[in-house]
Amino acid sequence: MKSNSNPLIVGVNHIGNSNGIDLKGKYLKDILLNKKDVTFDVNVEVSFDRRSYRGKSKKDNTIFRLVAVYNSEADEHHFYITNISPDILDASEIAAIYAARWEIELIFKELKSRYALDMITTKSPYAIEALIWISILTLLVSRKVYSIVRKLNPNAKMVRFTQSRWSAIFVENASRLLSAILDYLGIEQDFSGSSLSCVADFKLSGNEIRCGEQEIGEHGSYSDQPGWHG
C-alpha cells in the first residue's frame, strides 16, 4: 500500500489492543498504532479511477480488507491490501504470503540488475541456459555468504543490512572474495585452461559465450581449443 493512501475504515475484523476505540468512520491516518497493536485488521473503502472509455473516465469506490502487522525487525507496522476473507486467512498469514511474494520479486530483481540477466542479447538456447545457470549459481553463493555474515553480526538491524545492499557489495568484491577463498583452500589462482575461467570471466559474443579462448556454441558444445580441460 502506498504511504500517501488514506482510506476510510468501514468495518472492523480484528484489532489487537485497540483500547476500545471505535474505528468505523475514521480515516487510516487518524489512527495511531503502537507496538502493542500487534494486528490491525479492518475493511476500508478505496477510491480509484477506472480506465477511460471513449475518452471518459470516472471514479469508483470498492471495499477491500486492510491488514497491518507489526514487524519487530523494521520496528514498524507493515500494511497490506487484499480481498481475501478473514475466514480464509488471518492477518499473520496474509503478512507471511506477501513477504514470500516480495522475496520472489527481490530475487528476480537481483538476478536482472546484479547478475546481468537483463542484458541477454543472444538467441542461442544453450548460451541463454548457461547464462541463467551462471547467474543462479552466483546468487546462491552470494546468499550463502550473506547468511554467514548475518550470523556473525546478530545485532545488526535487518533494515540497514538488506540482501539488496549485500548483493551490490558482493558483486563489487566477488573477485577478492574468490581469491581469499582459493588462498584459504591452497588452490593456485590460475584459471587458464580451467572451467573456472567461465565463472571468473565470461563474455557474450553473438550467439556464443566466450570463456577466455573457449566458447559455447549454438549447439551447446565447447570448442576444441588447446588448453581446455573442462
pLDDT, one tens digit per residue, over 56-96 is 777 888 999 999 888 887 788 888 999 999 999 998 899 89
Domain check: are 62 and 153 in the same one? no
* 183 assigned to some structural domain: yes
**Final residue before a domain boundary, out of 69, 89, 107:** 107
Asked whether 124 and 215 are in contact (CB, 8 A), the reply is no
pTM: 0.56
pLDDT score for 184: 83
pLDDT at 199: 44
Give the C-alpha separation, 54 to 111, whole Å: 41
What is the C-alpha separation between 52 and 50, in angstroms, rounded?
A: 6
Could you give the CA distance from residue 4 to residue 13 in angstroms, rounded to a whole number?
23
What's the number of domains the chain is made of? 2
Answer yes or no: do 75 and 131 share one domain.
no
Task: State whether 120 and 211 are in the same domain.
Answer: yes
pLDDT exceeds cutoff 70 at 182: yes
The answer to whether residue 221 is domain-embedded is no
Q: Which of 74-78, 154-158, 193-197 is predicted most confidently?
A: 74-78
Indicate the residue among 55, 73, 107 that finishes a domain.
Answer: 107
Residue 84 lies in a domain: yes
User: What domain range includes position 174?
Assistant: 115-216
Q: Closest by alpha carbon to 204, among 87, 121, 132, 129?
A: 121
More confident residue, 104 or 196: 104
101 and 188 inside one domain: no
Q: Are residues 188 and 99 in the same domain?
A: no
Pairing of strands 208-211, 214-216: antiparallel
Task: Name the pLDDT band for 128 (thresholds 50, 70, 90).
Answer: confident
Banded model confidence at residue 17, pLDDT cuts 50, 70, 90: low
Distance in angstroms (rounded) separating the CA atoms of residues 179 and 174: 9
The confidence band for 27, taking pLDDT boundaries of 50, 70 and 90, is: confident
